Chain A
């Protein structure tokens, strides 16, 4: 579930391979879960999302019935621990019943003192996603891949801009694209028409991509070392700001057909981004949009924002944006080269030590 807006995490579909199963358990409970053919770890055990709880009724020998819940973790572990904590304190058996005050976790009872204890958690409400995102980032870095997360409101021209960028760069660098939308694979088809591999993720009830979805997408696409990985997020200026995908930079796109005050109305996104593309500048002569004011507003929420004025239609300003991408790619490759050199140096050193024995 999205902790920002409360949309569901269920119904996520990654193109080409997920199907659904309905299972009936011995106790008569039914649940449906979907799984893809290639997926290594996650099992979404109910339609409600990554972590779903469901209740099992149990009948004991003495005829008492109780219901307890257990949680299916949607990740690597598959913990089916059934907790049978019975409330012995309040069992009022007439004869022969145990009255045990020492069954709590403390295994002791002192009159007037409860079994309660404190457990430190210190966990951010978004920590689960951040763990997936960090793993994605390590994966990209190990391969010298440069990853960008493109965010904007719907209709700002993200896909058109992406197609144009791909057309201009595809002969220089390998590119993979992940497309996030609530429904349809239209955008991935538009990207594939440019000749580069693209994978559509339909978020269903969800309003943003998360680190887990992108992790699966990159495993599926298998991008080449030193390539460019572009993620077009769901058109939404609120929730995607809070969800790190493991990208190197968020790129916010604002078009001149929107308001100049959008960065002030949706500050979280412009604060989370490192780059802003002011798109559709070819339309400026026909609008009363004040581009300088829009830039000033964006810099007010994020003084470090790099801003490029571009038009995907006319091609204006695109060279500066492409130069920025190429510089990022170069930096990632250099880092990759350094880590390989470091490994080679380590091997050479170990071989020298071995020869000396």
Chain B
């Protein structure tokens, strides 16, 4: 067996994983499926499990940070057909934690989904897996087969009255499907275009039935909470932000990777675990919560703790925990150009501000980066981004706008230099 992968000393979700010990027998050997067995054998009521989840203060790990217990409680009790969905469409640039969870420990996610299904009374679930990680999809197919063969999935699980079927659904290249209602459309065999809300999925979800969608990491936390209690999980983090969180750190660091930290750990600590800025260079900027979260100047970030409230105070979002680090040699214009291109590429095209606005932003950024900037471009960027924000069907509009506004806000002089001198202020290009 290969050596344990290093996810940091506080790891509980990723602890003990080697990359080879993903199979059901390994998971069971680590105490896996004991939470499910406990619930079913001891006939713990769904409300009791829900109580522990609420106590744990677990918040959604996909980016929005919505309290999980509260979300589950929105599901109507007596609907005959309900669905639980795992959002494994991890496409937010900089985020790569769900891939590791699914390939190294798929059964933790499966067990979490089964417990969630038990709590919410769902008979069927889907795991929507990012299109680009085919190998992980295949592994999840195997894992589901293993769980079914072992009696953890199917009818009358472990001899109880509870039945649940789980299937994997493979995406095929659309960032927008990470948005939960676009994901539901996609499972229904349509384009991944977000639905307007209300109605919310808890009332009208997959096939029009009550549905709850959670992130991979959120589900993976559930067995731990059931086994150790909500209070234990809460104590791992901070009030209003229980537990550990997996941070995916990438960009200009020595050792990019996933690190599992208690919520509230200083960013400086994470940077240190990742070996510091690559080549010992100076930290310029950090995108702390995936590409959609506002960029934060390095100096501010070095003073910020990694939890929902602290990162918000620093002017950004904890988001999915994807930390993109940029060093002093990076051109902020070039960085934003690439992100704007991404949002232009990925806009679903359904609603006007996002469809038209992302193209507009991308075209301005392309001109500035290629020495064709004009006076007024910076103001236009800010205004167009502002005109998109808050006016679209889903959060994708804001996701496209926030990087633009924050880059312009914090690094305006670089943009001005680009426009005035028709070239880059920073020596090195990305």
Pair from one complex = no
List chain B positions with a Cβ less than 8 A from chain A.
Answer: none
